Every structure is written in structure tokens, then in C-alpha cells.
């Protein structure tokens, strides 16, 4: 069976259990071989739990992932500008690769959780506002303290509007 070369070199930055560090993993250049192999040690990638990775290494990769994500728009602009100036030229490579796909190191799950918490807080605030909507300043507060609304929950409810 003839070998087929890949037209685009893509590297994935993943955790290598052998190197005990974040390494670039690439797909082999032949169809017979499968999986991603570490560029440093040549070992095939093995799934790793985030809890198995040292905290400092996780934070390092999360920082790299955030920086990479924030630079994507700028890189796309520069790439388009480069192609506009040099339509027949080959674009420059990144560390010998066309693209490097960064592992998120759990940051996407953290961001998703933070987004869900924020949405839950907004929903709770809306429900709280709706619950107190019918009260006048001098009415007894419905929270059960027995105080007037203006001396009890009014400042908290008004605080929702200021956010």
C-alpha cells in the first residue's frame, strides 16, 4: 500500500506521560500508522486525567491556551495581509508546523462552569426582583424579618439594577 503524505503539518500540544510535560504530538505521515506521537520521545499519546498533571503545569498550559485564543484574530488578520501582499508565496510556518492546536487543560470546563454560575445568579436576581416588585417602600418585607421593605431588602434589589 503506498504511503500518502499529509499536505498540512498540524501539531497538538498534549500532556506526555513519558516526558512528564506538555509536548507537541503529530500524526504519522503514513496511512499504516495511527495515533499521535510525541515529537520529543516518539511515544504514542495516552489519555491523561487533569488530576494526574501537576498544578503548575496545568496553569502554564491554561495560560498558553488563553494567550493563543486571544491571538487568533490577530494571527488571522496578519495571515490574510501576508497572502494579500504575497499571493503566490507559501505562508510562514509556526515552529515547523502549519498549525499548533493547544490543549485547553481544563480551562473550557472552568469557563463553562463560571458562565453557568453567572446565568444562575442572573436568573435568581430576576426572580428576586419579580418577587419584590409589588411592594411599596413602607410595606412589610416579604422575606420574613418583619421590617419595612425600605429598611430590609430594598437596597439589595436596587443593587441588581446597578450591575
Does 79 share its domain with 22?
yes
b/e for 72-96, b at 16 or more Cβ within 10 A?
eeeeeeeeeeeeeeeeeeeeeeeee
**Does residue 104 have a pLDDT over 50?**
yes
Give pTM, 2 decimals: 0.54
**Does residue 3 have a pLDDT over 60?**
no
Does 5 share its domain with 79?
yes
Identify the residue whose cell numbers are 428576586: 128
Report how far apart, in Å, the C-alpha atoms of 19 and of each of 22, 24, 83, 131 are: 8, 11, 37, 57
End position of a domain, from candidates 82, 105, 128: 105
What does the pLDDT read at residue 1? 40
- Cα gap 109→92, rounded to integer Å: 33
Question: In terms of pLDDT, which residue wins out, 41 or 29?
Answer: 41
Number of domains within the chain: 2
Does 16 share its domain with 65?
yes
8 A C-beta contact, residue 34 and residue 28: yes
**Does residue 6 have a pLDDT over 50?**
no
Domain interval for residue 50: 1-105
Amino acid at each position: 500500500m503506498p504511503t500518502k503524505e499529509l499536505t498540512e503539518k498540524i501539531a497538538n500540544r498534549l500532556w506526555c506521560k513519558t516526558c512528564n510535560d506538555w509536548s507537541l504530538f503529530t500524526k504519522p505521515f503514513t496511512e499504516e500508522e495511527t495515533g499521535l506521537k510525541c515529537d520529543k520521545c516518539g511515544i504514542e499519546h495516552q489519555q491523561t486525567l487533569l488530576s494526574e498533571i501537576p498544578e503548575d503545569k496545568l496553569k502554564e498550559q491554561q495560560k498558553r491556551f488563553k494567550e493563543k485564543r486571544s491571538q487568533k484574530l490577530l494571527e488571522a488578520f496578519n495571515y490574510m495581509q501576508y497572502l494579500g501582499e504575497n499571493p503566490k508565496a507559501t505562508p510562514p510556518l509556526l515552529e515547523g508546523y502549519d498549525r499548533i492546536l493547544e490543549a485547553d487543560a481544563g480551562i473550557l470546563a472552568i469557563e463553562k462552569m463560571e458562565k453557568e454560575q453567572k446565568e444562575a445568579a442572573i436568573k435568581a436576581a430576576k426572580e428576586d426582583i419579580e418577587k419584590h416588585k409589588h411592594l411599596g417602600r413602607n410595606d412589610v418585607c416579604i422575606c420574613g424579618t418583619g421590617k419595612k421593605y425600605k429598611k430590609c431588602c430594598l437596597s439589595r434589589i436596587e443593587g441588581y439594577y446597578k450591575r
